[in-house]
Structure 1
Amino acid sequence: MIEGYLSHESVTAGGRLDIHVSTDAPFFKVDFHRVGAEHEFAGTTGWLPGSQSSVPEHPDGIAGHASPTVDWRWPAHPFTIPAQWRPGVYVGFLVTSEDTGDYDKNDLTGFEKLCFVLRSSVPGMNRILYKRSTFTRHAYNRSDAPGIERASSLYDNPVYTSRGHKVSMRRPGHIEDVAYWDAPFIAWLERSGYQVDFCTDLDLHADPGLLSSYRLLLSVGHDEYWTERMRDAVEAFVGGGGNVAFFSANTCWWRVHLTDGDTAFVTDTDHRAGDEYPHLPATDLWWAPDGAGRPENTLTGVSFRNGGMWQWPGGWPADRPCPGFTVQHPGHWVFEGTGLQAGSALGAGLPLIGYECDGAAFAYDEHGVARATGTDGTPDSFLILGIAVLEPVHDDFFDLRAGHWNCVSREAGRTGPRAATMGVHTRNGTVFTAATTDWPMIVARGGDAALDRVTRNVLDRLSI
């Protein structure tokens, strides 16, 4: 058995990573592969001495569950990134001296993997910056291992502090997000000839000026947790003429606060008030007036509270309807070369909508065209280019289907429909939102020429 985590998830060539590992094998190594159209072997640590380390107990004394809040402080093995390694996303495969046979370098699921971003040493060598949504991974990381369910995360047996739930980013766990969203889309980008630089959430938080070197920022997959510095930086980027493509959803839903030297974060996703639990809205909801008070719509054009999710029954990501987006305004540049007409279905027959999706509050005009009302903070310039009305809708805390437990029951006067609304708005810079988490995965899978072309149109137009 072997588990591990990295001291940091972002570094430049020549920089050092500390690899923290616990194993019952006498020796182990880490083989590194660069994610791309083909996963390329980059190098190895060589054999290192193995040792098994203890797991910090849950501070609430919950038997069998580890603490999600602290640095696990496993033995560190320093590794310097060779100067010749190309910028990109890298996966490290943990291999023990007792392993037999070759591993599948294309299998990024499971727990014996590590992931980091190798940033460009000269920001802006490419015009597109791809941001890995690392805070989301850590929020949901249960620190499980093969045969061991520790079930400790921001949501599983959470630890309450005066500021909210807390999670450390120095714990072992899986990299399923890379396997599901990032690796397929990065491969598609590379096959399609797009050259991009990479960063993490923490990079953008630490250096808001990073964006000034780029024309287009990409948010991919599930980009749920943002610090105020991240939000401020992206707002300023757009206000100054920079562009953003949100190939993501549930985007900027929770505000997080970094702590412990930027190795952990806290966020109030729910809390108790007397006997009421959960007491909502939580204070770190971006949209809530008694939360952050800055609706995510003002940046993205859309919000999860107007969208929803398909998750149960059937597991993750679950079977779901495949209606695609009903096209509006087919003459818009986003649809150039697709041949789509008003009323056409973009992505029909594919699980494009979900598993989580965002929307703008909208109403139909006299011509049956959905238009954003702006009542939720969506900018007046937001143009709904595609719409997928979500049915059925359930709001039961324990029966999530479409909709979300932080949404409608906290806006009792709201009666409008919910939908995924793909669209675009401009405020000096241009913001495109796909309004669904699974856009990058479905594009990478192929099979829909119009969806492929829309994605290229967005990248080509907004990166110049």
Structure 2
Amino acid sequence: MGRESVTAGEALTLHVSTDADEFRVRFYRLGDGLSFLLESEPFRGVLKSPPPHPDGGDGLASPAVDWDLEPYSFRIPGDWQPGVYLAHLVAGDERTAAAAPLLDDSGIEGFEREFFVVRPRDPGRHGRILYKKSTFTRHAYNRSDNEGLPRASSLYDNPVYQEGGDGERRGHKLSLHRPGGVIDLAYWDAPFIAWLERSGYAVEYCTDLDLHEDPELLAPYDLLLSVGHDEYWSQAMRDQVAAHVRGGGNVAFFSANTCWWRVHPTDGNTAFVSDTDHRVGDAFPHLPATDLWWPAPPDGVGAPENALTGVSFRNGGMWASDEWPGDRPRAGYTVQHADHWVFEGTGLRDGSDGGEPDALGAGSALIGYECDGAAFAYDENGTARATGRDGTPASFLILGVYVLDPVHESFHDLKWGHWNCPEREPSATGPRAATMGIHTAGGTVFTGGTTDWPVVCGREQDAGVVRVTRNVLDRLSHRTTAAG
């Protein structure tokens, strides 16, 4: 994909390598289901070899360079609605293509697919809610695999590290111009987007790169949504979202592991560099990794993500499993402050009547697979209150908490949300716990504290989670500076 977003009426560029003599592109829109729109005229196929990995290795390809695949342009109709779209490549002649069935909702994930965002020509006219697709995170995990061909080429598998100098930044480099198919969109985004449209919410969409490049992007919107797994953020993204909140705009983080690493877009914003702690071979090329947001310089950025979100992966964690995303405890969030507007209409209790507090999402896999938390301590009434020791704003109100026990310890010896936290922080800032909460800093910021909130809500697996989501969207889709 030349770029993962396009304005309605403008040209989309797909980059394709295929051994087929010709192929067609079928276009679908993700809404309340996968809707087929049209099929392109045939394109001539061109086969190109992946760039070799600089460290060698059979079957490996470089994740750090543009794969320079053949470009094919398609003009997006001007009347296409804002949304997330799927391009499905169908190889073969006209007869072969005609025999290939159309995709349904079960066919979103897979190879020979790519997604893209269609943005409106008049931003904010369709809706005042902006859904940010976490594309930098998607690229970090994209292995550039193909059917039956595991290339293991990503920020986590056989990464490429550059030492810096001569105008280059030190860190792991990752090209945004690589193939790899669709995975995360099917898991987190598709069910939540379907629920949003089924529920009648008017939403427009953008990518991380859109937010990075455009300081005015958020101006037409009252509410920004961060959904699912939103780990990699640039400084410009962070600054623009913080300014949006200071100006009275709202944010809902239905996500986790959020804003954990800083990225630096480069090469005309077709790649990024991030000084992370991912191994190259058997060694860490540079420790401490300086693009972790929360540690003070020179060992990190010195801007704790909790200052924006209220929570951090460093106080959360994840669960072990042989199969991603894995199973996990299903106890849900212990409810606090049940009289808050977030819980309106749920019927949930917080124990203030003398009974046991209820749990939001009990029976569902709401907590995890990764989750974020705030440093907190229990007061004399047994209520969890944020201490602020980790950068969480003083106004952050904890509405739900689930103490992580056990925390998965075998993935990079995970502690307090990440393997190297004990090295940087000898004692924990508080119990490790998934934390749901809210704070006000001009506008209002809600955080669900878990990657799988959009899955539970989107698939309507828990009535309480659905109602809380409605309450957040209904209240925050209009700018307000009133206290949460």
Q: Distance in 1 between matches of 2:417 and 2:406?
A: 9
Q: Deviations over 1:329-349 (max 9, x none)?
A: 000010011110001100001
Q: Distance in 1 between matches of 2:408 and 2:366?
A: 20
Q: 1:326 is matched with which residue?
A: 334
Alpha carbons 1:272, 1:279 under 8 Å: kept: no
Q: 2:167 is matched with which residue?
A: none
Q: What SS class does the counterpart of residue 138 from structure 2 fall into?
A: helix
Aligned: 1:284 with 2:291: yes
Q: 2:73 is matched with which residue?
A: 78
Aligned-partner residue type, residue 4 of structure 2: E
Q: What SS class does the counterpart of residue 322 from structure 2 fall into?
A: coil
Q: 1:190 is matched with which residue?
A: 197
Distance 1:330 1:346, change over 3 A: same
Aligned: 1:58 with 2:53: yes
Alpha carbons 1:248, 1:435 under 8 Å: kept: yes
Q: Distance in 2 between matches of 1:271 and 1:25?
A: 37
TM (normalized to structure 1)? Answer: 0.95
Q: Distance in 2 between matches of 1:337 and 1:171?
A: 46
Alpha carbons 1:239, 1:427 under 8 Å: kept: yes
Aligned-partner residue type, residue 139 of structure 2: H
Q: 2:363 is matched with which residue?
A: 349
Q: 2:101 is matched with which residue?
A: 102
Q: Distance in 2 between matches of 1:72 and 1:136?
A: 19
Q: Deviations over 1:163-185 (max 9, x none)?
A: 11011011000221110011110
Q: 1:411 is matched with which residue?
A: 425
Aligned: 1:366 with 2:380: yes
The residue correspondences of 1:102-181 to structure 2 (distance < 5 A) are 102-106=101-105, 107-125=107-125, 126-162=127-163, 163-181=170-188
Q: Distance in 1 between matches of 2:103 and 2:40?
A: 18
Alpha carbons 2:314, 2:416 under 8 Å: kept: no
Q: 1:229 is matched with which residue?
A: 236
TM (normalized to structure 2)? Answer: 0.91
Q: 2:269 is matched with which residue?
A: 262
* Greater Cα offset, 36-45 or 427-436: 36-45
- Aligned residue among 331, 336, 343 for 1:335: 343
Aligned: 1:442 with 2:456: yes
Q: Distance in 2 between matches of 1:220 and 1:92?
A: 21
Alpha carbons 1:390, 1:402 under 8 Å: kept: no
Q: 1:69 is matched with which residue?
A: 64
- Aligned residue among 38, 41, 44 for 1:46: 41
Aligned-partner residue type, residue 333 of structure 1: W
Q: Deviations over 1:363-412 (max 9, x none)?
A: 00000000000000000000000001001125455455983213234211
* Greater Cα offset, 155-164 or 264-273: 264-273
Q: Distance in 1 between matches of 2:133 and 2:260?
A: 16
Q: What SS class does the counterpart of residue 161 from structure 2 fall into?
A: coil
Q: Distance in 2 between matches of 1:422 and 1:217?
A: 17
Alpha carbons 1:280, 1:410 under 8 Å: kept: no
Alpha-carbon offset, residue 17 of structure 1:
1.5
Q: Deviations over 1:418-439 (max 9, x none)?
A: 0001000001100000000000
Count of equivalent residues: 457
Gaps of at least 5 residues in structure 1 are 1-5
- Aligned residue among 396, 403, 413 for 1:382: 396
Q: What SS class does the counterpart of residue 352 from structure 1 fall into?
A: coil
Q: Deviations over 1:432-453 (max 9, x none)?
A: 0000000001101113211111
Q: Deviations over 1:81-139 (max 9, x none)?
A: 11121111000111011564314332111111111000011111111000000000000
% identical equivalent positions? 65
Alpha carbons 1:182, 1:221 under 8 Å: kept: yes
Q: What SS class does the counterpart of residue 216 from structure 2 fall into?
A: helix
Aligned-partner residue type, residue 313 of structure 1: S
